Amino acid sequence: MSRRRAPLAVLSSVIVTAATLTASTAAHAATTTFTPTADTYVDNGSTGTNYGTSGQLGLDNSPVKRTFLKFTVSGISGSVSNAKLRIHTDDVSGAESPNGGTFRAMSNVSWTETAVTWNNQPAVDGATLGSLGAVVRNAWYEVDVSSYVTGNGTYSIGITSSSTDGADYDSRESGSTAPQLVVTDGTTPPPGDPVWVGAGDIADSGSGDTATAALLDNIQGTVWTTGDNVYPDGTASQFNTYYEPTWGRHKARTRPSPGNHDYNTSGATGYYNYFGAQAGPSGRGYYSYDLGNWHIVSLNSNISMSAGSAQEQWLRQDLAASTKPCTAAYWHHPLFTSGANHAPSTATRPLFQALYDANADLVLFGHNHQYERFAPQNPTGGLDNARGIRSFVAGMGGAGAYGFGTIKPNSEARNTGTRGVLKLTLHSNSFDWQFVPEAGKTYTDSGTTNCH
């Protein structure tokens, strides 16, 4: 089927919506998140009022409200490969809008949030950076500002609206939903086609995560995880104690997904706070990005996945909007597995169905602490060499090994007791897979599959 891009709300210039996070292909890129040093809005219905301490940033065209943001970028090494402005709509009635605003650069960087009023507001006089179409309440949205934010320095961004039903965003006073400027530096891509490498079920008090992190030290590219990033409960302390010293040194190039152990902490706050913007919109757990000719989707198997759920509907819309010829996805609970500890998770089938309907090519799971490769299958597990999706259980990231039970149909390769990472090389119309074992072990598995 064709995958032509559908319109995404109201777009202009360069824009990334909240549905998409674009991963940098930089070999050793570093991502830094900045919060505003100042933000405020002005209102021509109250021309002498300053709103600098407000928890809300107003945007409207009747009365006219304009929002101003200022960021100070520091500590960036080399050139900026990507910069995104992230803003969050307020969780109140009326914060939604059919027009999320137009974002422009500003030459004035000396204004202060406690002094600006309608009467003395700085000019919104620079290039248009992007615009948002319809926005809903309590959601993150992103605008690509890479054309403006090019290195260390101070940057002002003005937001205006042509709608009489304007939007309201959270200000820096709101805390965790304050605006963010996410800057990635480093522009040296790995040679050849993109490399995409990872595993799930990773960090605990043992040494398995140390062994697999050492493999990543010698493999460039983007890192993925298939959940249960840290044991036993996904707390902030456990992320700092177990994950950070090992896989954490590759955090800047990691695009994770959450597992059930990450959710042992209420709302998986340890996971979302640790990974920040790289885990997608805060608290949601599903997002997408592109690598080369591939569209990649990270999904959350710890929340509703039923047909018609917010996640399933988002997935179908996201897949329909992709223009890439090849598609991969990953999440924690496996639809297909021969593992003895955890049975197949049939609740994930609607996600697999949506991917199958969009002619996706590859799905990765975790949860069972082992490695297993399946032949291309349809959503009910039938062999399908024409449109089937090849899947892997990649739960060998460091946690203790699990055994196998009854071997499921179409299981082509299995191993337990060897920790490792699954290295995928994403070609223009195919992918290579390679199981890379921890030092001292010999199990390997490799091959190639064409995209549909």
For residue 250, which of 275, 223, 268, 289 has the smallest C-alpha distance?
Answer: 223
pLDDT, residue 74, reads 87
Residue type present at position 411: S
pLDDT, residue 188, reads 52
Q: What angle do CA 278, 31, 142 make, to 5 degrees?
A: 55
CA distance 121 to 274: 37
CA distance 343 to 328: 23
pLDDT, residue 29, reads 53
Beta bridge mates, 369: none
pLDDT, residue 18, reads 33
Q: Is the dihedral of CA 184, 134, 101, 39 positive or negative?
A: negative
CB 203 within 8 A of CB 270: no
What the chain holds in terms of domains, given with CATH numbers, is: 30-185 (2.60.120.230), 195-450 (3.60.21.10)
Q: Are strands 294-298 and 326-330 parallel, antiparallel or unpaired?
A: parallel
For residue 426, which of 314, 289, 263 has the smallest C-alpha distance?
Answer: 289
CA distance 433 to 445: 8
pLDDT, residue 347, reads 98
Give the pTM. Answer: 0.62
CA atoms within 13 A on the CB side of 302: 24
Residue 51, helix vs strand vs coil: coil
> What six digits make up the tokens of 140?
């993150």
Note if the bond before 232 is cis, omega within 30 degrees: yes
CB 243 within 8 A of CB 271: no
CB 141 within 8 A of CB 280: no
CB 252 within 8 A of CB 31: yes
Question: In order along the chain (452 residues), what is the average pLDDT of each group of 10 residues?
Answer: 31 30 42 89 97 96 97 84 91 93 97 97 97 91 93 96 96 89 68 92 95 93 97 96 93 96 97 94 93 97 98 97 97 98 98 98 98 98 98 98 98 98 97 97 97 95
Q: Is the dihedral of CA 74, 76, 77, 80 positive or negative?
A: negative
